[in-house]
Amino acid sequence: MVLKRVNAPIRDQTLREVREAIINGQFRPGERLSERKLCEFIGASRTTIREALRHLESEGLIRVIPQKGPIVATISVEEGKHIYEVREVLEGFMCRLFAERSTPDAKTALCRSLKLLETYVQKKDLENQLIESNKFYEVLMEGCGNKVVCSLLKSLHARISFLRKMSLSSQGRPSRSVKELRALYEAIEKGDLDAACEASSYHVREAKSSALQYLSSL
């Protein structure tokens, strides 16, 4: 696969391609990431690949091992648990703020994203469900009106996406997940701050259960 050239800087495209390959399982946990193979896979220079790898290391998706080089990070059960604990607090607060501060346009965008998610679940289209799940949370972050919360969540975004793929791979989890997000949206639509926070927290706890079960089986 050779990267298509579009308007975005090549370094951003390269970073996105390698990140998505890790999250989607094309590169497995513990797998060594050869710069030469990545250059062939992406169609980018070694300098650009190295920049992307440094960024992915800061996101926690890769680790650099002495005498071995970069490998895809393995998230332990304990680390996954800690990520979900932080995510539950931050996203619960974010959804409370969104219910309080969001504009009608933001609520409309959230509803539109939710309907697409429901469609992808019905079609059993996991790839697009993962993409749309990210968009759903982007709407929440943009509409919550708190840049600090957004910054903290974005610092966890790559690992959250990695764990989300695991969670949604569990049998029956996609349909339960989208029902939980429907309950969250309905609480937001009603302007019920406490219910929005609790719906978000419940959704994260359920996702945590599925993802940690998956991690434990590896």
Q: Quick one: average pLDDT of 58-67?
A: 90
DSSP 71: E
CATH number at residue 58: 1.10.10.10
Whether 58 and 161 map to the same domain: the answer is no
State the pLDDT confidence band at 24, using cuts at 50, 70 and 90: confident
> Strand 69-72 relative to strand 62-65: parallel, antiparallel, unpaired?
antiparallel
25 lies in some domain: yes
State the pLDDT confidence band at 12, using cuts at 50, 70 and 90: confident
Chain mean pLDDT for the chain: 92
pLDDT at 110 > cutoff 70: yes
Q: Tell me which residue range forms the domain holding 19.
A: 10-72
Q: Quick one: average pLDDT of 60-75?
A: 91
Q: Report the C-alpha gap between 46 and 18 in whole angstroms.
A: 13
Whether 170 and 141 map to the same domain: the answer is yes
Residue 25 Ramachandran class (φ > 0 left, ψ -120 to 50 alpha, else beta): left
Q: Report the C-alpha gap between 81 and 8 in whole angstroms.
A: 35
Whether 114 and 195 map to the same domain: the answer is yes
92 lies in some domain: yes
CATH number at residue 200: 1.20.120.530
The better pLDDT of the pair 88, 26 is held by 88
156 lies in some domain: yes
User: From residue 197, how far is each of 15, 41, 90, 134, 193 by CA, in Å?
Assistant: 33, 42, 10, 19, 6
The enclosing H or E element of 62 equals: strand 62-65
Domain count, the chain: 2
pLDDT at 5 > cutoff 80: no
State the pLDDT confidence band at 8, using cuts at 50, 70 and 90: low
State the pLDDT confidence band at 4, using cuts at 50, 70 and 90: very low
Q: Report the C-alpha gap between 99 and 53 in whole angstroms.
A: 37
Q: Quick one: average pLDDT of 115-119?
A: 98
pLDDT, position 141: 97
Radius of gyration of the chain (CA): 18
pLDDT at 1 > cutoff 50: no
For residue range 169-207, list pLDDT tens digits in order: 888 999 999 999 999 999 999 999 999 999 999 999 999
Whether 168 and 205 map to the same domain: the answer is yes
Q: Quick one: average pLDDT of 21-40?
A: 89
Q: Quick one: average pLDDT of 118-124?
A: 97
pLDDT, position 10: 83
State the pLDDT confidence band at 7, using cuts at 50, 70 and 90: very low
User: Letter for the amino acid at 165?
Assistant: K
Q: Quick one: average pLDDT of 29-51?
A: 90
5 lies in some domain: no
Q: What's CA 192's distance to the chain center, in Å?
A: 26
Whether 205 and 110 map to the same domain: the answer is yes
Last residue of a domain, one of 72, 91, 106: 72
Joined tokens for residue 25? 């399982």
The enclosing H or E element of 100 equals: helix 77-101
Q: Quick one: average pLDDT of 139-155?
A: 96
